[in-house]
Amino acid sequence: MIILGNVIDDQGRCKHYSNKQDTISIKFKCCGEYYPCYKCHEENSNHNIQPWNKEDFDEKSIFCGVCKKELTIHEYMNSTNCKHCHTLFNPNCSKHFHIYFGTGHNSTCSF
């Protein structure tokens, strides 16, 4: 999987978000490319971010940098860890859900 942006290690952390739990990358709906965060997308693409629609939440669009497996948006939003390797997700990422998944997401996650 190719992760674009300002990646600083082999688990997908970037210059913007680099703590232990920052290991997921997101496939952006607007371009189909994986980036570690919205800031990396903004700095390294020439178009605006288009959030995923609720009806697209079964799309595999989340990449775990630890186990290198893809998750659906639903799997990501409704869990605190990767279903494959159990690596914990950064709970602060939920603050940016509106950028990636629009304002109409219906998350039941415990963040």
Could you tell me the residue range of the domain that residue 67 belongs to? 24-101
Please tell me the distance from the alpha carbon of residue 13 to that of residue 70, in angstroms, as a whole number: 16
At residue 36, the pLDDT reads 97
Taking 80 as the threshold, does the pLDDT of residue 104 lie above it? no
Q: Per the domain annotation, does 79 fall within a domain?
A: yes
pTM (two decimals): 0.89
- Residue range 77-100, pLDDT digits in tens: 999 999 999 999 999 998 999 999
- Residue range 40-73, pLDDT digits in tens: 999 999 999 999 999 999 999 999 999 999 999 9
Q: How many domains in the chain? A: 1
Q: Per the domain annotation, does 31 fall within a domain?
A: yes
Q: Per the domain annotation, does 106 fall within a domain?
A: no
Please tell me the distance from the alpha carbon of residue 11 to that of residue 14, in angstroms, as a whole number: 9
Identify the DSSP state of 27: E
E strand intervals along the chain: 24-27, 34-35, 60-64, 70-72
Is 57 in contact with 27 (CB distance < 8 Å)? Answer: no
12: nearest Cα among 97, 99, 87, 111 = 87
Taking 60 as the threshold, does the pLDDT of residue 105 lie above it? no
At residue 72, the pLDDT reads 97
Please tell me the distance from the alpha carbon of residue 61 to that of residue 99, in angstroms, as a whole number: 14
Per mean pLDDT, which range of 28-32, 74-78, 85-89, 105-109 is the poorest?
Answer: 105-109
Q: Per the domain annotation, does 108 fall within a domain?
A: no
